Amino acid sequence: MRWSGWLVGAALLADGTGRACGPFFADTVLIHPQAVLDVPPVSYLSELAEVAGIDGPITIPSGIDRLTQVPVEIAELEAHWRAEGVDEEKITKRATRYRTQRTALLNSLTRERLNDLAEEDAPAPPAPLDLGPGFPADVVDYLKGARELAAGNKDGAREIWRKICQRPAAETRMRRAWAAWMLASTTDDRDEAVKWYREVIAMVKAGAADSLGLAGGAHGWLSTLDAGDDPVEAIRLTYLAVKAGHYRSVPDLRNRCATIVAHPDPAVLARAARDPEIRSLIHLEFFARLDGPQFSPIGEAEQKPLARWLEVLDAEATGPDPDAARIAWALYATGRFDEAADWLKRSDEADPRAGWLRGKLALRAGRIDDAKRELAQSIEREKQDPEGWTPANPLLDGLWGHSGPERASSAQGRLLADLGMVELSSGEYESALESLVEGGYWEDAAYVAEQVLSADELRDHLLEVAPEWSAAAVDFWSGAEQSTEWGGTYRYGGPADPTRFEQGPRHDLMPPMTEHDQLRYLLARRLAREWRFDDAREWMPPSLIPLFDHYVALHRARRSGHHRGEDLAAITWRQALIHRIWGMEMFGTESSPDGHLHDGSFAARDFAELRGWWGGAESEAPSEFVQELGPPVLAVSQDEIRRIQAHRLPEEKRQRFHYRFTAAEIAWKAAAALPDNHPQLAGIYHTAGLWLADRDPQAADRFYQALVRRCAGTEDGRRADAKRWFPGDIARPGQWHPLPGSLEPRSLPSPPGEG
């Protein structure tokens, strides 16, 4: 067997999943008219763990790092020495010697070197072992064998390992199964390999140490070596390997389950169908292979294996089937809805998979209430396993491309999103909001919170479900150290200081927020946009309140009628600057047009425009693509249309970064308080105009024209006139005139945890 020395150069194997570079955008449902009928994602690994009765997630190792097993070996030895009463100082010294020499040995055992062991120019042997006293004899002997193999003396290595296996089990507990594994891995004789892999399994059952999961690996090799040409037996043995913990065998299991349905011998398929265990695994393969969403119809060639398997089942396995829901979903994915309904009748009534599909079929038949009941019951059944209930929205990149626990969470999130869509169409807006929030469909939830519910309805709802900030947010604002998702830590840097507002927002201003924290913050900004400042303050994050209070004081002073001339201009200009610099943080919409959910870095999709058009509102069709999709399965109600029209921003403010336009209007009022040719006037017009120039040159032109007209007696005005646009180098006015004493803010004290 050519280089099968997994244990010699071996490792514990880690999950190798990773992500490419972003940006990544979350899945959404409310702007996809057929989304509620989608086939959901399936986590093959999570489903397999359920079928096999495996606790915890299954992760498939992605590669071999021969050094990762060393800490496991050391931990095993340390436990052995402590049981013998060895003092900690000696244990530390022995562990250090072992780590140094074991690492050096493993480093010499690269794949290329092992493949060269049979060559005449075999490399020189690695350094001799010198572990010193106190090590178990079988551990020392095992390493001697590994050293001989690395030096090219395979026969000598095998002789050492054979002697370990021949000694009494009580004397060789720590390396007995390891030696048998190497005897299986280094022989070219198939029968002998089968014999030794069976010995590994028997030794582990009898109590031999197996910190590297060799028994599972032995099962995996036996599924290849011992099954012969029997595909049913190959599936059975591979399944045993997985159940024994050898998760590297999972791809083989899937491949064998996928290919057996094409076997030319009907008797083979009949045997598979009669075996409940094998049948369950094949059902699972179809369930996972045909999961969703389906962006195009499944072709005839892809449907043939399922059709053939169903013919065999009709002959060999009629009656109730605990896995019938998985086959029903596969049929649904291929558009065979009546057959899917028939298979559901054979399923377990309490299976949440079955209830979810019954809900989908009810939607197709227009039975909305039945669908809502089935979806809600499926969610409650899923929640009966609190540890396994982890709904989440997957990143759009690789949306359905992962088969692990993350995919199971994505399925749960999509189940909640399905219910949210039905609730929204039924006018149950608060329930829809909660379903979408819990499912992780934040962009959809933000649409409901900002453009369907009124501000007062959202406030009343939050008073019930989130009357306070989360404990994590409160801890952050009290100065507790927080962990970042990339492994670092950070602390609250103190609230936004009104005396330093021009520095802009800081990264240490906001805590990691729960979805309900985010809803509270969304409501605060919405109320602020509606100029309901007292109400907004109740929901504003504590870190923004000092600056928000200063802004509100400026706003009220400007409108009070008590200030004139430069006093009024200075007050108004300060308000305009805060509105521009902190507009996203205090006034930005979560979804369209501002995209606070993307921190303003990317435009948000306009849910109101799309759903309004589907609902029959008088507006231009968003795009040909949307028209081709047809109307949504769940109608957009006239009540939702009415709410959209009442609650979304006025049409003139539906530009991205709408608050810049508001800030510019406030700046216009500041300029109006100053006389023509005032030294600061050109700077105000120039600065405010440039806030708009990139996005709306026509709106900016109004500021340019005023600059030329009202500053004609200044050098800046003449330069603007000559250029026929903003010169680009007129300085932004600072605080040229003091604010009235009551409006001048004070510096804030140091943040928690600092002197």
* pLDDT tens-digit series, residues 443-471: 999 999 999 999 999 999 999 999 999 99
Q: How far is the C-alpha of 334 from the C-alpha of 340, rounded, in Å? A: 10
Q: 124, 127, 214: which is closest to 175 by C-alpha?
A: 214
pLDDT over 70, % of the chain: 88
pLDDT at 295: 59
The residue-averaged pLDDT of 17-29 equals: 64
Confidence of residue 108 (pLDDT cuts 50, 70, 90): confident
Q: Which positions ≥6 away from 487 have C-beta within 8 Å?
A: none
Q: What average pLDDT does the structure give for the chain?
A: 86
Q: Give the least confident one: 120-124, 155-159, 712-716.
A: 120-124
pLDDT over 90, % of the chain: 58
Task: Quickly tell me which residue has 């197709």 as its tokens.
Answer: 364
Q: How far is the C-alpha of 703 from the C-alpha of 525, rounded, in Å? A: 27
Of 61-70, 567-576, 739-748, which one has max mean pLDDT?
567-576
Q: Can you tell me whether residue 542 is helix, strand or coil?
A: helix
Cis peptide before 749 (omega within 30 of 0): no
pTM for the model? 0.81
pLDDT at 710 over 90: yes
Q: Which helix (H) or strand (E) holds 483?
A: strand 482-483
Task: Quickly tell me which residue has 């010995």 as its tokens.
Answer: 199
pLDDT at 488 over 50: yes
The residue-averaged pLDDT of 102-108 equals: 81
- Which residues in 343-376 are b (16+ Cβ under 10 Å) and which e? bbebbeeebbbbbbbbbbbbbeeeebeebbbbbb
pLDDT at 66 over 70: no
Q: How far is the C-alpha of 34 from the C-alpha of 418, rounded, in Å? A: 11
10 Å CB burial of residue 195 (0-12, 13-18, 19+) is middle
CB 327 within 8 A of CB 310: yes
The residue-averaged pLDDT of 331-349 equals: 94
Q: Can you tell me whether residue 109 is helix, strand or coil?
A: coil
pLDDT at 486 over 70: no
Of 129-138, 488-497, 668-677, which one has max mean pLDDT?
668-677
**Three-state secondary structure readout of 582-640:** CHHHHHCCCCCCCCHHHCCCCCCCCHHHHHHHHCCCCCCCCCHHHHHHCCCCCCCCHHH
Confidence of residue 118 (pLDDT cuts 50, 70, 90): very low
pLDDT digits 0-9 by tens, 142-160? 999 988 888 888 999 999 9
Cis peptide before 675 (omega within 30 of 0): no
Q: Which residue has the higher pLDDT, 445 or 736?
A: 445
What phi and psi values does residue 663 have, to the nearest 5 degrees?
-60, -40
pLDDT digits 0-9 by tens, 517-551? 999 999 999 999 999 999 999 999 999 999 999 99
pLDDT at 300: 77
Residue 386 region by backbone torsions, left for phi larger than 0, else alpha for psi between -120 and 50, else beta = alpha
- DSSP secondary structure string, 424-456? HHTT-HHHHHHHHHHTT-HHHHHHIIIIIS-HH
Q: 572, 446, 463, 465: which is closest to 518 by C-alpha?
A: 446
Q: How far is the C-alpha of 362 from the C-alpha of 359, rounded, in Å? A: 5
- DSSP secondary structure string, 653-717? G-SSSHHHHHHHHHHHHHHHTS-TT-TTHHHHHHHHHHHHHTT-HHHHHHHHHHHHHHTTTSHHH
pLDDT at 628: 44
Q: 710, 688, 707, 709: which is closest to 699 by C-alpha?
A: 688
